[in-house]
Structure 1
Amino acid sequence: MAVQRGVTGLSIPIFLVSISSGVFDVVDVGWLFVLAPLGLVAGVAYGLAYYYRFTYAVTADTFDVTAGVVAKRAREIPYRRIQNVDVSQGVVQRVLGLAVVSIETAGGGDTEATLQFVGDAEAQRLQREIRDRTAAVKERRRQAGATGSGAETDAAADRGRAPDTTDAPQTDAATADAGSERAPASTPSAARASEAGAARSGRTRRQRLFALEPRDLLLYSLSSFRPAAGAGLLFVFFVASDAIVDYLLAVARPVGGPTDLQSGTAGSYGILTLISVVNGVAVTYLLNVGYTFVAYYDFRLGRAGDDFVYERGLLQRYSGSIPAEKIQSVTITDNPIQRLLGYAGLWVETAGYGPDSSGGSQSAVPLAADTRIRRFAENLTGVETPDFRRPPPLARRRYLVRYSLVAAVVVAAAFGLARATSLERWYLAAVVFAAVPPAAHLRYVHLGYFVGEDHLVVRSGFWKRRTTVIPYYRIQTVSTRRSVFQRRLGLASLVVDTASSRTFVWGTPTIRDVDLETAREIHGTGRERLQSALRERARADDIGLSVDFT
């Protein structure tokens, strides 16, 4: 902690003096020899003070954290609110035997408490103990609910009515990682009682569900794309911009590119631009492959009580949990390459956190055979095999017009560039119109929705197709949206929102461009089945998902 804060205290004066000396004459660069050592000493002192004033404790009902140097802050985090206890280790931390413990709660996108420098063994102990205590709290709440249900049963018997006491079957633990069909085992309450007993004795059993094989990891790295790769390209260009520009000029020169950036024709600059784009795409792809391989190396998914637990990472090792009762929706993802090879991925969204959010990866299965992924989703959620319905053909015509307008903008931009430069044959840009019909058709055929008895399933996307399964009891709001063009065509989009946090990449599930009457019908059906699902869950001891989903 002292070294980390000391480096920060040393760098701040260097940055401020270096910038200010170039703007204000009164600022002398020689101040660095005084301010930098003072900043180093102040940073080290602050780090030591922070360390000695930071305390944490595992109590019977809460996890307590006290921190702060200038202003002291004490937090008591109830176990019932804790969602994830993540442990991460970088390369240096693994060498030193240290780890970072992050405690996340439902309902927020920020980490509730972070223990920066904890011994590896202590981090594992905290993760295990907090997880066990959280499971014990959940079990006490279930037992309290069961006691209330028992009282209702006795009252119903006195009134001569037969209450609903049906329980859903539980999958057998022996089917883990085998993709077997469901088999009835003990009742959910008995299974959870066994888990709670194990939790109280400090020996929660961990069961392996899935492991990403090396072949599938390589295929996942080669067939997926992550926005972080684009940020990596910008970082590489920022660090070595001069060397990169010289390389691009050297590559473009033999095929008609300019000799330098100061002299050249419009045609030579166009060749340089094309060379730059091709190299940028290639480097971004290589960065993406490396990033994905390192991030998902040795991915393993398991189960501990009612939580899914995962481990992943080569350089930065992550270990975290996904509470089954917090899962809001389950999404099957694939892209054209993965569909061609018969593969797909399975992602989950939990309350307060979404896929690829700051709360950590929520990938249940990064990549596996398509049939296996769909069986996983059906076993996990209990969803029936969806029979998708598509929007009316009028929607395809709308996409055709939309993409035609985009193509017209591209041609107009080429025409404007030709008028401003010596660019010729601008009309060749009209070839983009050839892509309009297939683009509109592919967008249309990959849209679909299914209104089931217990779930709403939404499918959309071609380059990144997502099939999202949403239990009715997880729906927060259902809203109907209509743009100006949709109103003219009598169409509407239905947005289904849950309690998860969405990112820029992952949008809210939306049933797009259906007839207005159909949208209103789905809206009403969803509202009625939401109320029915809530009443059924209130009478049953059921978290809604099978934690032995494989």
Structure 2
Amino acid sequence: MSLTQLTAAPPTPPAPQWRRLSPRMLLVHPVIEVGKALPAILGAFLAGHSSGHDGSGSRWSLAIAGVVAALSLLRWVTTRYRITPQQIQLRHGLLRRRTLAAPVSRVRTVDVTSHLLHRALGLARVVIGTGTSDRKGRDRLVLDGLTAATAAGLRAELLHRAPAVAPGATVQPMQPEMQLAVLDRRWLRYAPFTLTGAVTGLALLGVGWRVVTEGHVDVNRLGPYRAAADRLGHWSLGVDIAVVTLAVVLFVAVASTLGYLLSFWNFRLTRHAGGTLHVSRGLLTSRATSIERRRLLGAELSEPLLLRAAGGARCLAIATGLRVGRGAERGGEILLPPAPRAEATRVAGAVLGTAGPFVAALPKHPAAARRRRVARAVGALLLAAAISGLVAWAAGWSAWLLLVPAVLLGPAVALGLDRYSSLGHALVAGHLVTRFGSLVRRRSALAVDGIIGWNLRSSWFQRRLGLATLTATTAAGRQRYPVQDVGAQEAVRFAAECVPGLLTQFLA
């Protein structure tokens, strides 16, 4: 062997090639984009018919649908991606070419979603979270159109990376995933108390109203509507109100239960051997979210008022890289759907490795905080009463309307007292624990290592009572976790206890 062969450098491995998304997306993109443009297409169709030119409406609507479908195909043609040992790169755009790149080491979460049309074609949409919890979706890479097998392999590659093994060391076999929670069908009894059906109902009413308006439909000619209106017309006002209220409650309960099934069917929470949490759920639209353990900075118990009255709660993750602010059903932070509160507490403790932050008793806030909470609730009611009184006097309405605020005085005081009883804070097992809220009571446990700063705010009314609001800022979750209406001196002491030394330069 020659000396040249001995000293030659090893060949450089070829760079990974740019890859396209699955060509099956050519069948998906046109359907999705035409569906989004359906109001414009329907408007062009109705405008053509209303003008007396029956053929023009059809031609314009078909032309718009054709243009939208053609433009949607360019998304597949112009999109490329590749994964190197160091980076994930995504290139897309025709007139304005953009290349997004993110280090593999910065991957926080991988969210795999398959809508009904995706599932029919064996496809999945992969969202790779690489930054903070951005509500606008920035700092994320989206690969819409991978095969299901490719998406699963990509998730495992990015989040289940094995550490480097020293030469001669023994490689331990990977342990199976540990199941933390699975859907219990008995939890369906909590679905009517989530009020997701109210949002669904409003959306359906909006769509129906738009169709009726655009189509110039006379609802009085519809048999069911005319029959219901005639029946209500023969009853007294009190009976009409009771019947309509009962119908609305039943509709919301049924819609909420249906939404619960669609969102959380086949729900399963597991922990990978490397510590990664994996959440899978969904009936028509399947969704799988993976969260690295080192990116998880805490957990939260969320108890909306009706769900709390039924003894239920849900568990949310406080982690970097997750989509928040979209609702628990649509966001990626859900760790447990509405379930018994004891089960939510167990899951939160299992996720963090300690149940202390969720079972520890929290000290009460000062009595001044109770006075402020009650005063705010009653003050808002009195302001509404004054405005309604002026409107009633100007319009010449009955003076009996002024009795409505008096009837609501008791519930307003009860709301203020409940908001006060929800207040609490503590430092438990290395976690900042804060609790607040009445309509939605939240008990959050945030690791003190994830706190990057404090915000101490005191309004004019709070200063009169010696109170302040201490807010911990972090890169995870909602990014702001307040300790509301606490004593000013207690706020400073508590902040120094959670993160020693952070406030020293301001207190000197």
Q: So what's the TM-score if we normalise by structure 1? A: 0.71
1:307-386 matched pairs, under 5 angstroms = 307-335=276-304, 338-339=307-308, 342-353=311-322, 355=324, 357=326, 360-379=331-350, 380-382=352-354, 384=356, 386=360
CA distance, structure 2, for counterparts of residue 285 and residue 332 of structure 1? 23
- For residue 406 of structure 1, what is the amino acid of its counterpart? A
CA distance, structure 1, for counterparts of residue 235 and residue 157 of structure 2? 65
Q: Choose which of 400, 406, 427 in structure 2 pairs with 1:425.
A: 400
CA distance, structure 1, for counterparts of residue 207 and residue 225 of structure 2? 11
- 2:345–2:355 contact (8 Å) kept in structure 1: no
1:482 CA drift (Å): 1.2
- 1:350–1:500 contact (8 Å) kept in structure 2: yes
- For residue 116 of structure 1, what is the amino acid of its counterpart? D
- For residue 98 of structure 1, what is the amino acid of its counterpart? L
CA distance, structure 1, for counterparts of residue 29 and residue 39 of structure 2? 11
RMSD: 3.8
- SS of the aligned residue for 2:476 comes to coil
Q: Choose which of 125, 138, 163 in structure 2 pairs with 1:100.
A: 125
Q: Choose which of 466, 469, 479 in structure 1 pairs with 2:455.
A: 479
CA distance, structure 2, for counterparts of residue 21 and residue 40 of structure 1? 15
Equivalent residue, structure 1, for 2:14: none
Aligned length: 453
* Higher mean C-alpha deviation, range 461-470 or range 362-371: 362-371
Change (3 A) 1:495 1:421: same
CA distance, structure 1, for counterparts of residue 378 and residue 443 of structure 2? 27
- 1:480–1:492 contact (8 Å) kept in structure 2: yes
What's the CA shift string for 1:47-69, capped at 9, x where partnerless? 44432333333332223333223
- 1:332–1:373 contact (8 Å) kept in structure 2: yes
1:251 CA drift (Å): 5.5
- SS of the aligned residue for 2:360 comes to coil
Change (3 A) 1:483 1:289: farther
Equivalent residue, structure 2, for 1:162: none
Change (3 A) 1:60 1:273: same
Change (3 A) 1:453 1:322: closer
1:381 CA drift (Å): 4.6
- For residue 388 of structure 1, what is the amino acid of its counterpart? L
Q: Choose which of 72, 78, 94 in structure 2 pairs with 1:69.
A: 94
Q: Choose which of 383, 386, 406 in structure 1 pairs with 2:380.
A: 406
1:277 CA drift (Å): 6.2
1:89 CA drift (Å): 1.8
- SS of the aligned residue for 1:425 comes to helix
Equivalent residue, structure 2, for 1:392: 366
CA distance, structure 1, for counterparts of residue 108 and residue 500 of structure 2? 29
CA distance, structure 2, for counterparts of residue 36 and residue 372 of structure 1? 52
- For residue 92 of structure 1, what is the amino acid of its counterpart? L
Q: 2:507 aligned with 1:524, yes or no?
A: no
CA distance, structure 2, for counterparts of residue 272 and residue 279 of structure 1? 11
* Higher mean C-alpha deviation, range 50-59 or range 3-12: 3-12
What's the CA shift string for 1:161-181, capped at 9, x where partnerless? xxxxxxxxxxxxxxxxxxxxx
Equivalent residue, structure 2, for 1:284: 252
- SS of the aligned residue for 1:255 comes to coil
CA distance, structure 2, for counterparts of residue 46 and residue 340 of structure 1? 50
CA distance, structure 2, for counterparts of residue 59 and residue 434 of structure 1? 64
Q: Which runs of 5+ in 2 are unaligned?
A: 1-24, 213-218
Q: Which runs of 5+ in 1 are unaligned?
A: 145-189, 258-269, 533-550
Change (3 A) 1:224 1:509: same
CA distance, structure 2, for counterparts of residue 336 and residue 501 of structure 1? 22
Equivalent residue, structure 2, for 1:538: none
- 1:473–1:530 contact (8 Å) kept in structure 2: no
- For residue 481 of structure 1, what is the amino acid of its counterpart? R
1:373 CA drift (Å): 3.6
* Higher mean C-alpha deviation, range 71-80 or range 394-403: 71-80
1:7-18 matched pairs, under 5 angstroms = 8=33, 14=41
Change (3 A) 1:47 1:297: same
Change (3 A) 1:11 1:253: closer
Equivalent residue, structure 2, for 1:207: 178
1:374 CA drift (Å): 3.1
Q: 2:431 aligned with 1:451, yes or no?
A: no
Equivalent residue, structure 1, for 2:195: 225
1:524 CA drift (Å): 2.4
What's the CA shift string for 1:116-172, capped at 9, x where partnerless? 23332333233233333xx34xx45xx99xxxxxxxxxxxxxxxxxxxxxxxxxxxx
Q: 2:468 aligned with 1:515, yes or no?
A: no
Equivalent residue, structure 1, for 2:416: 440
CA distance, structure 2, for counterparts of residue 393 and residue 422 of structure 1? 41
- 2:190–2:310 contact (8 Å) kept in structure 1: no
- % identical aligned pairs: 23
Equivalent residue, structure 1, for 2:79: 54
CA distance, structure 1, for counterparts of residue 227 and residue 460 of structure 2? 49
1:438 CA drift (Å): 2.3
- SS of the aligned residue for 2:494 comes to helix
CA distance, structure 2, for counterparts of residue 437 and residue 106 of structure 1? 43
1:272 CA drift (Å): 7.2
1:42 CA drift (Å): 4.2
Change (3 A) 1:432 1:338: closer
1:93 CA drift (Å): 2.6
Equivalent residue, structure 2, for 1:535: none
Q: 2:266 aligned with 1:298, yes or no?
A: yes
What's the CA shift string for 1:261-305, capped at 9, x where partnerless? xxxxxxxxx997887666545533432232122101111011222
Q: So what's the TM-score if we normalise by structure 2? A: 0.76
Equivalent residue, structure 2, for 1:122: 150
Equivalent residue, structure 2, for 1:264: none
CA distance, structure 1, for counterparts of residue 367 and residue 495 of structure 2? 21
